[in-house]
Amino acid sequence: MEITVAPNLDGFSGDLLVLPVFADRTWGPGAAEAAAQLGGWLDGYLDGLEFSGKVGETAAVPGANGFGRVLFVGLGDEVDADALRRAGGIAGRAAMRDQKVASTMGEIDIEGAIGAFAYGFLLGQYRFDKYLSEPKPSSTVELILTGADEVGEVAHAESVAAGVAMARDLINEPAGGKKPEVLAGIAADMCNELGIDITVYDRDQIVEQGFGGLLAVSLGASNPPRMVVMEYRPEGAEKTLALIGKGIVFDSGGLSIKPASAMETMKTDMSGAAAVLGAVRAIATLGLRVNVTAITPLTENMTGGAAQRPGDVFTARNGKTVEVLNTDAEGRLVLADGLSLAAESEPDLMVDIATLTGAAQVALGMKVAALFGSDDDTAELVIAAARRVGEKVWRLPLEQEYRSKLDSPLADIKNIGDRYAGAITAALFLAEFTNGRPWVHLDIAGPARAEGDEGYVAKGGTGFSVATLVAVAEDMAQ
């Protein structure tokens, strides 16, 4: 899709014109002119639809100003960048069959308006149709946006949206199509394309390197594990960001097996690794001046005859021993190795991303990620970045009094606590492998998947946290 930016729509025509409407049917830029051209019937028609400009409302009518159709999109009375992202998503989904689309949303007087709408539009058109016998891809070839693009907002939106789309593709891919070695190959292809150094550890090297958690989780799987380490090192970078993404490409629960219904979405248990890959792509494409070390431990968690058993003990990369009492609490085991490896190079900030606990979903629902931070300033850095890009996170306490729930009589730590505060005890477990570095843990178990289309989010894998990670990298680059 080509995105064209122009000061106004003079001389342009096309299939669909998207126009903003505020609360109480207050016309946004370009809407009053279109309404006047459409004539007196419009108000009565919109009355019949009960269209008043509330957030998310839409009304499609015959064309005006040289466009075949006009789509009025409600923005409500408090418009911010995320409202424009959502409006862009609605418009992108409505325009799937239109080749040439234009909008005046970029003329709304808020910072980043044109980029926000473009980002939402691009992701609103996202579809994963690889396995459909008769796919219906988007017909849109050109998006015309009016407004000012003085700081490359559109190019930025395209880069981040491409990273999100990559993450969504990887998450939505069936588990059989993304074995650990396949995902490692995709990462290698991306790194070779973008000039990023990459090291992929195979099973024998995983043993040699002491990645005991990754090895333990992989024991029941017939497809061997991989540890992927990507290093983006741009000239002039002063700070280093480490990203660690959980990459369980399918989670049966291991011998602590899940119910069949709970396995239906477990191809998405590598959403953290997918987010890291998407973020690295966007960061490198944007040329951000921050060093990035990105680590994705990749394996299946299966029930083969060699699978780890409840009560087994392994030694993680940092030398700590772990008693495994529930093999379905496996994400934290592979992250233990990833965090330990990342901490060895003493980065300025470590962020791990994982679909880690059902407890986070119980606490915060399906649209808000749980965030834990090693200290207030570190947590606020990521919270502010998430707020800026419209991804919802909520900080939960890293309550040290609960650490005793993880005490083991057999090893340095066990991998589960009791039934209470499960998201917190999981975070406390991970903290044992950070070596005291500034660190944030994002439990994205809820928002990593969507049950339906909404705004710029499509049903299935969402690519949640890609935009936040890019924003964190931007802040560190400055």
- Residues marked active site are found at 258, 332
27, β-bridge pairs? 21
Decide: 444 and 459 in contact? Cβ < 8 Å.
no
Rg of the chain over all Cα atoms, to the nearest angstrom: 24
Length of the chain: 478
Count other C-beta atoms under 10 Å from residue 238's C-beta.
10
Decide: 1 and 142 in contact? Cβ < 8 Å.
yes
Q: Please tell me the distance from the alpha carbon of residue 341 to that of residue 397, in angstroms, as a whole number.
A: 25
**Which tokens go with 433?**
């492998």
Count other C-beta atoms under 10 Å from residue 116's C-beta.
28
Q: Please tell me the distance from the alpha carbon of residue 333 to that of residue 307, in angstroms, as a whole number.
A: 14
Q: Please tell me the distance from the alpha carbon of residue 478 to that of residue 470, in angstroms, as a whole number.
A: 13
Look at strands 291-301 and 26-27 and give their pairing: unpaired
Q: Please tell me the distance from the alpha carbon of residue 37 to that of residue 63, in angstroms, as a whole number.
A: 9
Residues 6+ apart with CB under 8 A from 358: 422, 445
Look at strands 142-146 and 226-232 and give their pairing: unpaired
Place of tokens 């040290």: 400
Q: Please tell me the distance from the alpha carbon of residue 369 to that of residue 68, in angstroms, as a whole number.
A: 41
Q: Please tell me the distance from the alpha carbon of residue 294 to that of residue 281, in angstroms, as a whole number.
A: 11
Q: Please tell me the distance from the alpha carbon of residue 417 to that of residue 406, in angstroms, as a whole number.
A: 5
